[in-house]
Every structure is written in structure tokens, then in C-alpha cells.
Amino acid sequence: MKHWVRAKLTHGVTFGEACDRRRWSRPTAYRRRDEALAAIAIGLTMNGIGRGHH
């Protein structure tokens, strides 16, 4: 997750390039990112924090 965020915040480096540097499978890396985002969303929902209410 942190590598995806860093790629989004850093100009000139894409998440795909970060995956290549670390020799990660891109589909697996994106799947892990999606799993982390889902866990965050579930936690926020369980705590009653709706979209735009942060």
C-alpha cells in the first residue's frame, strides 16, 4: 500500500514501475492494494464514518 501511495504522490514514478523494481507481479501487487483499501473501507464503515464525514 505504501508503495502505491508513494507512486501517486511522486511525479515520474508509476506503481507499475515500482512493482518492476521490486520484481513483484503486477496483478498480485494490485490485488494486495485492493485488499488493503477494502480493509480500510470496512473499518471506516464499521466505525460509522461515511463518505465525506472525516
For residue 23, is it within any domain? yes
Q: Give the position of cell 507512486.
A: 7
Q: What is the pLDDT of residues 4-48, one digit of tens each?
A: 888 888 888 888 888 999 999 999 999 999 999 999 989 988 888
Residue 5 lies in a domain: no
Please report whether residue 3 resides in a domain: no
Q: Is 22 inside a domain boundary?
A: yes
Please indicate, yes or no, whether the overall pTM of this predicted structure exceeds 0.75.
Answer: no
1 within 8 A of 33, measured Cβ to Cβ: yes
Please tell me the total count of domains within the chain.
1
Question: 35 is in which domain, residue-wise?
Answer: 14-46
Backbone angles phi and psi of 49, in degrees to 5:
-95, 110
Residue 8 is assigned to a structural domain of this protein: no
Torsion angle of C-alpha atoms 20, 25, 26, 28, degrees rounded to 10: -150
Q: Is residue 36 part of a domain?
A: yes
Residue 2 lies in a domain: no
